[in-house]
Structure 1
């Protein structure tokens, strides 16, 4: 590996983030209000567990455990710089302070809006999303079609209704699926489908399309909040999980909510995260884990499978009707 050896990389990976902070950033590390948790004087949205070393930078929606992860993702080091620093080859290196990194965060901007939603609607219908659910999101202003690439844009807004987050998904149905977030997106404000009447329940999903899919499978019901986290950070076995920024912000703004349904993907990361989150929030809320019943599926897969099943049965019924008309049914 250019610049560092495999042995150096292995040595660097052995140091945990909390060990590094205690050794090299002791003046910046302070106890937070939560038991066993610490934060930084220079950036109080950064939290780290003193035992597991799991850290979470809430304003960026990222986390990790090792000192190497911390240096690269929080203090802006390159991989080689971080390895050398941890191996004490560059003790004079001074990484960027948190407030400097935060100051450089680019401003949020939504993609240009297309005057039509033809491509988005066609794509979502192919994914098994019902037209009433699509219309509901379009009318709420949390879904639109972008220009010039005609992507799906799933919008997250703050308490005043101002867009703060946008997840993008390509509308083509072949090749590798395009997925991204708009520059400057704030993960605290996730895509959320609000109920038609006040509700005390929020269903939590990894992606916006999963929220729309579950709503479709529920008969287009608008009976509860459906919130996308914009992805998950699965904890290592035996470790605690950091509260998702989108869910924490949602619960802060909706104090009436007393039930959380974790509708994550039925894969190893999704299952691990669902169990950890249910344990974390079960102390304060009623919780339910509602993973898709098929291993490896998310709710988007379920909706698409349901569409394919309906289409297949419709074709069979049409063939049967034609045979009966011709007097050929056996």
Structure 2
């Protein structure tokens, strides 16, 4: 559990939700009249410095409220994220209730973090999380995983656009629970481990890249045709990455949703299913959606680590008692 100071909490409480969304989730916003709505939570509106989730009957005034109540983040993690975003000073607030919302800010350019001279620390950390070495090697060779130079974080790079440019990346600390999308990231281009063998008709979906790689590792351990599946990270619970992926992969006909076993993950399942079935570009597609939450723990990395522990315990039980050899 990350630790935060009173000063960080005070800074985090100053961050307005619309400012946060414009900077971090611009493609999840749509303007409707005098207010904004979220694409993945259509009944959540933002207007005049306040937000309200009408279908759930609650709201708030800050980005901190939103991250905790809607996205299901731990309070300290949300404070840490927002205090970092607010390090240059408090953002401007929404004008008074009689004024119109400000025009969207000019998006900051997306720039990947500088690379370390090697990936040793990041790879060692991910191996300790149970991720298969060959899968990590594939990601490194594809340029979708590397170690950041400044903090030696794991940097997960999302899919490229039609011009061959990366549009999304997120970082994961190797010595703490720190995680964050790189500023200017486009949620539509989530982290992907693509199928490298036919048929490529199934996409397995998780929230975070580590859970995505854990799903792939578990499939490989089962030897269940794992290379013929895609593994996609949503970067949270927004359906944007999945919708974009499906539009670009017409052969996919089966979606396996492996979101976290927490309030945010469980509540997002129906929203994601609705977003897929109601998308105009996908309405003529025959798509099967299977809900497959992690069978053990909060997420699929918990499940993977539990599977590894169980295998080791079984091997220990099968191993003959060496002391008996000397009797």
Measured after TM superposition, the shift of residue 158 of structure 1 is 2.1
Which residue does the alignment assign to 1:208?
209
Q: How far apart in 1 are the matches of 2:100 and 2:62?
A: 11
Which residue does the alignment assign to 2:76?
none
Q: How far apart in 2 are the matches of 1:248 and 1:321?
A: 55
Is the contact between residue 159 and residue 253 of structure 1 (CA under 8 Å) also seen in structure 2? no
Q: How far apart in 2 are the matches of 1:151 and 1:299?
A: 21
Pick from 102, 109, 112 the counterpart of residue 96 of structure 1: 102
Measured after TM superposition, the shift of residue 186 of structure 1 is 1.3
Stretches of structure 2 that go unaligned for 5 or more consecutive residues are 1-17, 19-29, 67-89
Instruction: Give CA deviations for 1:108-146 in whole Å, capped at 9, x if unaligned.
Output: 111111222211121111111111211121122111111
Which residue does the alignment assign to 1:139?
141
Task: Determine if the alignment matches structure 1 residue 272 to structure 2 residue 274.
Answer: no
Structure 1 pair 206/290, CA: closer, same or farther in 2 (3 Å)?
Answer: same
- Which residues of 2 match residues 238-253 of structure 1 at below 5 A? 244-253=239-248
Task: Determine if the alignment matches structure 1 residue 171 to structure 2 residue 174.
Answer: yes
Measured after TM superposition, the shift of residue 277 of structure 1 is 2.3
Q: How far apart in 2 are the matches of 1:80 and 1:145?
A: 34
Which residue does the alignment assign to 1:54?
44
3-state SS of the aligned residue for 1:213? helix
Measured after TM superposition, the shift of residue 313 of structure 1 is 4.2
How does the TM-score come out when normalised to structure 2?
Answer: 0.67
Is the contact between residue 34 and residue 101 of structure 2 (CA under 8 Å) also seen in structure 1? no
Task: State the superposition RMSD in angstroms.
Answer: 3.6
Q: How far apart in 2 are the matches of 1:48 and 1:212?
A: 28
Which residue does the alignment assign to 2:129?
127
3-state SS of the aligned residue for 2:43? coil
Q: How far apart in 2 are the matches of 1:114 and 1:326?
A: 52
Higher mean displacement: 273-282 or 214-223 = 273-282
- Which residues of 2 match residues 1-330 of structure 1 at below 5 A? 39-40=31-32, 53-54=43-44, 65=53, 82=94, 85-86=96-97, 91=98, 93-98=99-104, 101=105, 103=106, 105-160=107-162, 161-172=164-175, 176-198=176-198, 199-219=200-220, 221-232=226-237, 244-282=239-277, 284=283, 285-294=287-296, 296-315=297-316, 320-327=320-327
Instruction: Give CA deviations for 1:169-196 in whole Å, capped at 9, x if unaligned.
Output: 1112xxx411112121111110011001
Q: Which of these two proteins has the greater Rg computed from alpha carbons?
A: 1
Structure 1 pair 69/210, CA: closer, same or farther in 2 (3 Å)?
Answer: same
3-state SS of the aligned residue for 2:220? coil
Structure 1 pair 245/204, CA: closer, same or farther in 2 (3 Å)?
Answer: same
> How many residues align structurally?
255
How does the TM-score come out when normalised to structure 1?
Answer: 0.66
Instruction: Give CA deviations for 1:242-266 in whole Å, capped at 9, x if unaligned.
Output: xx22112212222222221111112
Q: How far apart in 1 are the matches of 2:197 and 2:300?
A: 24
Q: How far apart in 1 are the matches of 2:137 and 2:322?
A: 34
Stretches of structure 1 that go unaligned for 5 or more consecutive residues are 1-16, 18-37, 57-62, 234-243
Q: How far apart in 2 are the matches of 1:55 and 1:258?
A: 33
Structure 1 pair 321/257, CA: closer, same or farther in 2 (3 Å)?
Answer: same
Q: How far apart in 2 are the matches of 1:213 and 1:127?
A: 9
